Amino acid sequence: MTPHIRALAGQIAETVLMPGDPLRARWAAETFLDAPELVNDVRGMLGFTGTWRGNRVTIHGSGMGMPSLSIYANELISRYGARTLIRIGSCGAMQSHVAMRDVILAQTASSISTPSAGIFRDLNFAPCADFGLLRAAVDAAERHGTRAHVGGIYSSDVFYDERPDLNETLTRHGILGVEMEAAELYSVAARHGCRALAVLTVSDHLLTQEALPPEERQSNFRDMVEIALESAFA
């Protein structure tokens, strides 16, 4: 056990899907996994382990923001042996050709600062996805007929952003969307020699100001979870 995860040895699978919301972790586990077992509920952060098409999978919440994700990703890798970590979550679109409910497959994740920044000091490390996972996710999206976009995203360390100038610059440089966790996930995974990918559903649009109502968000996340699972075991 760790300070944040009460799972016993062997209760965490090598493949972990990480939504930010613990209730989304419960929904995904109950919807997609066979015989899901609750393996963590410390501080209300839920984690479940079950099987998908015979493969062991853990779906564990990460919380909001890079500091929270960093804690869980580090513990899942270093204490429980996780080797493939896929973030499944929502994001805000930053390009006109990216529509609501589309899926973004994050090839790279830019940021101003992450919990790992102190390790790199003066180096601007470029966090990126595992190519094998990314390629498999593209194939999975095509099989499902899901509109998917591959490219760079921005991992923000604030939710209530007051930098319209930065958003304009990111949009001009082709950043597809904004979320709050992927850059640190990619950095932690690289440090430990693990595979990582972020599969994101567009729930908000910074250009049009559209937003999915809460009741629609969960029902529109099915493709994202299926893509993540299929890419993990391709």
β 84-93/34-40 pair status: unpaired
Q: Do residues 19 and 28 touch, judged by C-beta distance below 8 A?
A: yes
Domain membership flag for residue 1: no
Domain membership flag for residue 2: no
Domain membership flag for residue 8: no
Domain membership flag for residue 4: no
pLDDT at 161: 81
Residue ranges of alpha helices (H) inside the chain are: 22-32, 66-78, 117-120, 131-144, 164-172, 182-192, 214-219, 222-232
Q: Mapping DSSP to helix (H, G, I), strand (E, B) and coil, where does residue 48 land?
A: strand
pLDDT tens digits for range 8-67: 999 999 999 999 999 999 999 999 999 999 999 999 999 999 999 999 999 999 999 999
pLDDT at 76: 98
CATH of the domain at 110: 3.40.50.1580
pLDDT tens digits for range 161-178: 888 899 999 999 999 999
Domain membership flag for residue 41: yes
Residues with active-site annotation: 204
- The helix/strand count (H/E) of the chain reads as 8, 9
Domain membership flag for residue 7: no
Residue 43 counted as an annotated binding residue: yes
Q: How many domains does the chain have?
A: 1
Domain membership flag for residue 9: no
Residue 88 counted as an annotated binding residue: yes
Domain membership flag for residue 5: no
The torsion of the CA quartet 163, 164, 169, 175, rounded to 10 degrees, works out to 90
Domain range for residue 32? 15-232
Residue 152 counted as an annotated binding residue: no
